[in-house]
Amino acid sequence: MILEKVINRIEIQSEYKDFVDKYIDNILTEFKGKIHSIYMCGSIPKGTAKPFKSDADFTIVCVNPKDIDYERLSNINDIFLKKYPVLAKIDTTICSIDDVLSKPNEWGFWVKIICVCMYGHDIGEKVPPIVISSEFILDLNRETKEEVNRIHRALSNATDNMLKTRYIKGYSKRLIRALYSLVLEDTGVWQDDISTMKNAILNYCEIDFALVEYLYDCYSDGNDVLVEEFLGVADEVYSYFENALNAMADSRTSFD
């Protein structure tokens, strides 16, 4: 079964259009000649964004990611967040053309399936069709452990309540996405709606439903969540995920 693109048509709501246009123009000016293409994913390009709750998610593809100064990029994001308070957060990911083409089940999947091209030539068109398989799921989660450990450390060390809430929501979302990847062979489609993901997990995963519902509640409203309690649940969920992924890898090896 071949994965279809999540966003087939760009439908940006009026309250976000000025931001998107000016943000892209600013990025292109700041890093002139260094950017191949710019992409978005999530609710803003889909036209389903919720003011003051939705994030702006960009991906920059370039020849060499080192050409993009992360500190300058972070400063640009901070400026635009202040100018457009309708946004909850701006996340900008950077990858190379080689990443997209040489890792079709990782960066290729991200650009081809999850994102939509906002500027430049869509390099996702050069990525071969992505077939849902255990190999794809394993490749897709190659860096999940590292990402989860990074968020875990950041949350453990956070002292600011706003940061804690942001990390809890982000951590919850990352774990729900990881669990959803386990059921791709059952659903046959990638979802970017967290509620739909949660329901699919409950239908197909043999995991304690209460753990999944807890994560979803923390993603929906990360305020007043006890960090220690959350980390305990997160560790339990990740342990389930890792065991399921290892079982998938072992099963695949036995058939090779």
pLDDT score for 242: 96
Q: Determine the 3-state secondary structure of 53 from DSSP.
A: coil
Indicate the helix (H) or strand (E) that contains 57: strand 55-62
The answer to whether position 120 is within a domain reads yes
The answer to whether position 216 is within a domain reads yes
43 closest CA partner among 21, 11, 82, 15: 11
Question: Same structural domain for residues 144 and 250?
Answer: yes
Question: What is the distance between the terminal CA atoms of the chain, rounded to a whole angstrom?
Answer: 20
pLDDT score for 172: 95
> Considering its fold, how many domains does the chain have in total?
2
Beta carbons within 8 Å of 109's beta carbon, 6+ residues apart: 3, 127, 130, 136, 140
Question: Same structural domain for residues 122 and 225?
Answer: no
pTM confidence score:
0.84
- CA–CA dist 59, 112 (Å, integer): 12
The answer to whether position 211 is within a domain reads yes
Q: Domain containing 238: what range? A: 138-255
Q: Give, in order, the Cα–Cα distances in Å from 238 to each of 53, 138, 215, 231.
A: 26, 15, 11, 10
The answer to whether position 33 is within a domain reads yes
- CA–CA dist 218, 215 (Å, integer): 5
pLDDT score for 254: 56
The enclosing domain of 106 has a CATH number of: 3.30.460.10
Given 71, 95, 130, the domain boundary residue is 130
pLDDT tens by residue, 136-193: 999 999 889 999 999 999 999 988 888 899 899 989 999 999 999 999 999 999 988 8
Given 86, 112, 130, the domain boundary residue is 130
pLDDT tens by residue, 11-70: 999 999 999 999 999 999 999 999 999 999 999 999 999 998 888 999 999 999 999 999
Mean pLDDT value of segment 123-137 = 95
pLDDT tens by residue, 241-251: 999 999 999 98
